[in-house]
């Protein structure tokens, strides 16, 4: 026998059993996004590799070692998208959407060739938001409040907010030089990665999780001492807005984010319940990116949240989930089986929203009831010879208490409407 082909390492099936939780998260996220007037955008999973190099930055984990890049048949270098922002920016430029402010959201799979572990996969899923054309800080506050509303909708209470500012490009350049000078003075304490990054992406050194580096990082100069008047006012406005909304946060001057394109506001939502992979949602402002990718200069702010990490959190305290099927139609005997699909269609017409599974493939009473039970439906609808003659259906509760009731077919949709 030949060996079974398996899924690719770090890329997972989502089996039916897991779907209700994913759907609950996605549905609630969508409802929250719509409550703020955000519109959905969908972009291709594959883009020119150049797009990611020019936006995320060549000297980043993503571009150096995590991208799934390949040559198209004509020789173009293409990549599976590792994140959503670059594609979104490309799409709004290409689609001519920058004439007015845009509040957009997306969801879907992202691909990064990382070492798979809990909370870190090679195909993972994000929901993200990108807003174009607003300079903030009011909109920065709005996107953070939106994430808070999402946690509330999901019943999550164990997330905390960290914020920082990266200043403007010029301020960051001065800070960067100062940081390099400082790190040069502590070369012997830097790990290999940080030494490699010292002149290419020194801010990223602050992001190092290497335990031996904690001391060097803690004593490093702070970006907050390098802010000009405007950046300082922006950051103060941002924090004041969060405070006014009753949202507590910690300022973490070492929070720099891994990607090149951020400026000013950055933030992360973090949990202690998922071990090392504790960042559930991360975002910030990227005012220079649209212009850098060839569009008219347009300020922008956004975030992305990792669905696998949210799922992992919610598995610990799952929200109530709706049953996948409300009712299972059992049809016993030839006459009933011949009518079953028609009765089911009639019910779906009469009661939109009804999730009805109709028995297919025949079987005796016992056998069909087993399938009804396995469907997870709380109700069985039973159609037999007698019911056909009387124009009725038996409604039998499959879970918990309740008596079987015979309901005229004409009243059935109304009867079920009160019970689903
Ligand atoms: P990390 O520091 O955990 O590597 P990141 O800074 O690379 O995160 P972002 O690019 O900001 O992550 O992506 C936003 C969110 O997407 C993260 O906060 C996380 O929840 C999720 N995420 C990122 N990479 C992965 C991955 N490989 N597997 C699962 N989720 C991920
Ligand atoms: Mg990463």
Q: Which residues fall within 8 angstroms of residue 388, CB to CB, at 6 or more apart?
A: 335, 336, 339
122 CA closest ligand 1 atom index: 27
Topology of the domain covering 327-417:
Rossmann fold (3.40.50)
The band of 61, judged by pLDDT with boundaries at 50, 70 and 90, is confident
Element (H, E) at 283: strand 279-285
Instruction: Give the pocket of ligand 1 (CB within 6 Å).
Output: 83, 112, 114, 119-121, 124, 126, 258, 277, 279-282, 304-306, 308-309
Mutate to test the pocket of ligand 1, among 83, 282, 302 (most ligand atoms within 8 A of CB): 282
- Tell me the domain boundaries of the chain: 16-167+227-316, 327-417
Confidence band, pLDDT 50/70/90 cuts, at residue 321: confident
Q: At the topology level of CATH, where does 16-167+227-316 sit?
A: BirA Bifunctional Protein; domain 2 (3.30.930)
CA angle 232, 237, 238 (to 5 degrees): 100
Question: Quick one: pLDDT at residue 48?
Answer: 98
Q: What are phi and psi of 374, to 5 degrees?
A: -65, -25
The answer to whether 198 and 299 are in contact (CB under 8 A) is no
Cα 111 to averaged position of ligand 2 atoms, centre (Å): 11
Give the CB-side neighbour count of residue 67, counting CA atoms within 13 A. 27
Assess contact for 360 and 371: CB atoms under 8 A: no
Res. 258: pLDDT tops 80:
no
Mean pLDDT of the chain: 94
Q: Among positive and negative, which fits the CA dihedral 202, 256, 212, 309?
A: negative
Cis before residue 137, ω within 30 degrees of 0? Answer: yes
- Full-model pTM: 0.92
Ligand closest to 112 (CA) is 1
What spacing in Å lies between the alpha carbon of 281 and ligand 1's midpoint?
Answer: 8
Q: Judge whether 132 and 300 are in contact, CB under 8 Å.
A: yes
Residue-level pLDDT at 64: 87
CA separation for the pair 70, 82 (Å, rounded): 14
Same fold yes or no, 16-167+227-316 and 327-417: no
* Ligand 1 atom with least separation from CA of 61: 7
Q: φ, ψ for residue 127 (rounded to 5)?
A: -115, 135
Interval between CA 66 and ligand 2 midpoint (Å): 9
With bands split at pLDDT 50, 70 and 90, how would you rate the model's confidence at 377?
A: very high
Give the tens place of pLDDT for each residue, 87-139. 999 999 999 999 999 999 999 999 999 999 999 999 999 999 999 999 989 99
Q: How confident is the model at residue 323 (pLDDT cuts 50, 70, 90)?
A: confident
Name the residue at shortest CA distance from atom 22 of ligand 1.
Answer: 306
Nearest to 128 by CA among 66, 68, 85, 76: 85
Nearest CA to ligand 1 atom 28: 120
């Amino acid at each position: 026998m030949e060996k079974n082909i398996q899924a690719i390492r770090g890329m997972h099936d989502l089996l039916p059993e897991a779907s209700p939780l994913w759907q609950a998260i996605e549905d609630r996220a969508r409802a929250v996004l719509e409550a703020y007037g955000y519109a959905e955008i969908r972009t291709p999973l594959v883009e020119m590799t150049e797009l990611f190099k020019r936006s995320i930055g060549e000297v980043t984990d993503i571009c150096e070692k995590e991208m799934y890049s390949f040559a198209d048949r004509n020789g173009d270098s293409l990549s599976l998208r590792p994140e959503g922002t670059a594609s979104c920016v490309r799409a709004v430029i290409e689609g001519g959407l920058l004439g007015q402010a845009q509040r957009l959201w997306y969801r879907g799979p992202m691909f990064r060739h990382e070492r798979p572990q809990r909370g870190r996969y090679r195909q993972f899923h994000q929901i993200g938001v990108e807003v174009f054309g607003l300079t903030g800080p009011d909109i920065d506050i709005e996107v953070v409040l939106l994430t808070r509303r999402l946690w509330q909708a999901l019943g999550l209470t164990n997330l905390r907010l960290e914020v920082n500012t990266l200043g403007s490009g010029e301020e960051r350049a001065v800070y960067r030089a100062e940081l390099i000078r400082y790190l040069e003075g502590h070369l012997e304490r830097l790990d290999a990665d940080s030494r490699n990054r010292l002149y290419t992406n020194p801010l990223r050194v602050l992001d190092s999780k290497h335990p031996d580096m904690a001391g060097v990082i803690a004593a490093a100069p702070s970006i907050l001492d390098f802010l000009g008047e405007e950046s300082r006012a922006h950051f103060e406005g941002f924090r004041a807005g969060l405070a006014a909304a009753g949202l507590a946060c910690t300022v973490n001057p070492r929070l720099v984010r891994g990607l090149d394109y951020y400026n000013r506001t950055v933030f992360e939502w973090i949990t202690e319940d998922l071990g090392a992979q504790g960042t559930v949602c991360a975002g910030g402002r990227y005012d220079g990116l649209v212009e850098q990718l060839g569009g008219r200069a347009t300020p922008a702010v956004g975030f992305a949240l990792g669905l696998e990490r949210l799922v992992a959190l919610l598995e610990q305290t799952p929200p109530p989930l709706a049953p996948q099927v409300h009712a299972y139609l059992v049809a016993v005997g030839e006459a009933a089986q011949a009518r079953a699909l028609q009765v089911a269609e009639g019910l779906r017409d009469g009661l939109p929203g009804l999730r009805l599974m109709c028995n297919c493939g025949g079987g005796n009473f016992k056998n069909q009831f087993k399938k009804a039970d396995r469907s997870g439906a709380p109700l069985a609808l039973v159609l037999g010879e007698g019911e056909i003659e009387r124009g009725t259906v038996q409604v039998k509760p499959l879970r918990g208490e309740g008596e079987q009731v015979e309901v005229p077919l004409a009243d059935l949709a109304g009867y079920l409407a009160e019970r689903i």
